[in-house]
């Protein structure tokens, strides 16, 4: 089983380069970073974990800039977002960012995407909350048109792009989505809680699921696999990557029994000394 890590990197924590080097030297498989552009102080949306929202949410580094630094000092470490808030980006510009990072790191990039939880943050980006799922689907389709090997136009409900020359291209080969459709771009995983809407989206336009915390997978993974196969997807292509996990030997063994091949463990949003101590605590699980 591959074990990657995630962390809220901020202006007060370990640096992207220092962490990336430490992860690769110890044999961890990857580094995933979250995204928040800002946290309005007038926020009324409850924090996803309950209680007060930790300070690091409003200090988070831009994941693409930080992963670019990590890419430059590593050779094998996979890099990913967990998650990119697609609705808060211009899709043409985001397609270029993703393709550039994937090109520069030699295809090591995973695009974790999701729908977000902070209504106030999304509102400042002009996002209508009730329509955010369809907006994500539409923007991902536009991005895939730009990642296609030949100039491809896209006309969607929320945006469009002319058939264009758009390089670089993501490294990963195209994948079959069934019904004559093709998935272009880097490995794409969708984060979120188990449910019919999420599972339909995963089967429709991604490579798999980033379940936050990794709870309840014994019940939910078989349901997702059925939705995936009913959509005409190849069963062996589905990837489930438990995310922000607090690891222990029993939990990792259980994930392995479910056919899971990669887990992303949670690191503290802290300085170098504390983060490295935590990495050393997790190293026996590798």
* pLDDT per residue as tens digits for the range 42-62: 989 999 888 999 999 999 999
Taking the C-alpha atoms of residue 124 and residue 104, their distance in angstroms, rounded to an integer, is 31
Residue 83, Cβ density class (10 Å: 0-12 exposed, 13-18 middle, ≥19 buried) = buried
Taking the C-alpha atoms of residue 197 and residue 194, their distance in angstroms, rounded to an integer, is 8
- Of the candidates 72, 67, 95, the residue with the CA atom closest to the CA atom of residue 6: 67
Where helices occur in the chain by DSSP H, the ranges are 16-26, 63-72, 91-104, 119-124, 132-147, 196-205, 217-230, 249-257, 272-282
pLDDT for 34 beyond 90: yes
The per-residue pLDDT for 284 is: 96
Whether the full predicted model's pTM is greater than 0.95, yes or no, is yes
The CB density around residue 8, as the number of other CB atoms within 10 Å, is 21
Q: What is the mean pLDDT of the chain?
A: 97
Q: Which two tokens stand for residue 36?
A: 């928040």
């Amino acid at each position: 089983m591959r074990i990657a890590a995630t962390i809220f990197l901020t202006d007060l924590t370990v640096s992207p380069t220092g962490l990336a080097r430490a992860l690769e030297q110890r044999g961890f498989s990857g580094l995933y970073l979250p995204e928040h552009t800002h946290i309005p102080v007038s926020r009324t949306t409850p924090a996803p974990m309950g209680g007060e929202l930790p300070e690091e949410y409003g200090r988070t580094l831009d994941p693409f800039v930080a992963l670019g630094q990590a890419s430059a000092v590593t050779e094998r470490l996979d890099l990913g977002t967990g998650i990119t808030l697609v609705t808060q980006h211009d899709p043409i510009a985001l397609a270029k960012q993703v393709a550039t990072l994937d090109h520069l790191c030699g295809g090591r990039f995973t695009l974790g995407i999701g729908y977000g939880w902070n209504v106030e943050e999304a509102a400042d980006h002009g996002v209508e909350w009730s329509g955010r799922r369809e907006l994500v689907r539409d923007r991902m389709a536009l991005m895939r048109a730009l990642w296609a090997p030949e100039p491809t136009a896209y006309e969607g409900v929320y945006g469009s792009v002319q058939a264009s020359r758009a390089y670089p291209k993501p490294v990963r080969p195209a994948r079959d989505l069934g019904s004559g459709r093709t998935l272009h771009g880097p490995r794409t995983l969708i984060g979120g809680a188990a449910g019919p809407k999420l599972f339909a989206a995963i089967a429709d336009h991604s490579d798999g699921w980033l379940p936050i915390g990794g709870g309840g997978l014994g019940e939910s993974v078989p349901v997702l696999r059925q939705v995936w196969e009913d959509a005409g997807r190849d069963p062996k292509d589905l990837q489930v990557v438990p995310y922000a996990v607090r690891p222990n030997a029993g939990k990792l063994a259980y994930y392995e029994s479910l056919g899971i091949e990669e887990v992303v463990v949670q690191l503290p949003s802290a300085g170098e000394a504390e983060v490295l101590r935590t990495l050393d605590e997790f190293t026996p699980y590798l």
